Amino acid sequence: MKQLIVVADMEGASGIFDSNKEACWHEEMFPENPLWRSYGRPCITSDVLAVCSAATEMGIDEILLLDMHYAGCREYNVELEKLPPNVRVFDLPNRSALWSRIRGQAAIEPYGIVTVGQHARNGEADAYFPHTIHTPPIESFYLNGLHIAEIGESVMCFCDVPYIANIGCAASHKEALELSPNVTCITVKDKRKNWEPSPEETYPIIYQGMLDALKDYKNKTAYPYQEHCHCSLHLTEGYFFEAPDSFPWKGTFQDRTATYEAHDIETALSLFWQLHAYIKKCARE
């Protein structure tokens, strides 16, 4: 069976720009905002549907969808009822980013992984809504020397799985290519070129791009498995780490930087969230 992992975010979706940024704001967090439901959800759904339809046409048997935008909110961003019947979702409490549980629910050897609706990392130029996981307070997160954001988390969790395509903001492709130089990059908007097409315009672009990417499957490569992980988490100004007296892993805390080591990527990604308990906001003078 050919199982495809599709990881969806929303800041990089078609049709969502600085001018209508509220379309990204999940209703459970911003109940006064109607744009997420009326406009934002159809935008990311269109992108994911294009990916899934092309994959199904190319013989993918099962698509396992991780909808990670505003993880922790119960309602999905993607309108699941509009997707093909071979799509199912990960079983996660409130769509939480529990990486060991996510990896454990997929096939031992998935056919490939696709990231869709992606934004760039914090600090990337000409990007729509760039951030690293959540900025602030996170300035950057390095795993074995690579600055990773949502794309990196997903692809590294599924290390040794061919990275087939990244669909999103043009600036997001830089991270994708650092993870796997043969990944197909499909752009749905480009701030540098002031190119802001509608989801109706990008649907055929994504669909055809996915067909071409899957036809080129033999050339796709994966982020390799890492036996040991060195991680560093850096905070933006205005935040600091309040170091505990002891912690059950090898690491250090120093003002705005925490470092730690892990024996595998899943543990490294899980510890990233544990470190959040020690992030504090500086008191105003």
pLDDT in tens, 118-175: 999 999 999 999 999 999 999 999 999 999 999 999 999 999 999 999 999 999 999 9
Q: What is the pLDDT of residues 53-75, one digit of tens each?
A: 999 999 999 999 999 999 999 99
Q: Are 3 and 61 in contact (CB under 8 A)?
A: yes
Q: What is the pLDDT, as a whole number, of residue 82?
A: 98
The answer to whether residue 284 scores a pLDDT higher than 90 is: no
Residue 248's pLDDT band (boundaries 50, 70, 90)?
confident
Q: What is the pLDDT, as a whole number, of residue 245?
A: 85
Strands in the chain per DSSP E? 3-8, 62-67, 87-89, 112-118, 138-143, 146-147, 163-169, 184-189, 229-235, 239-241, 251-254, 257-262, 279-281
Residue 247's pLDDT band (boundaries 50, 70, 90)?
confident
- Distance, CA of 137 to CA of 46 (rounded, Å): 31
The model carries a pTM of: 0.95
Domains and CATH numbers, the chain: 3-134+147-219 (3.40.50.10780), 229-281 (no CATH)
Give just the sign of the alpha carbon dihedral 174, 154, 265, 279. Answer: positive
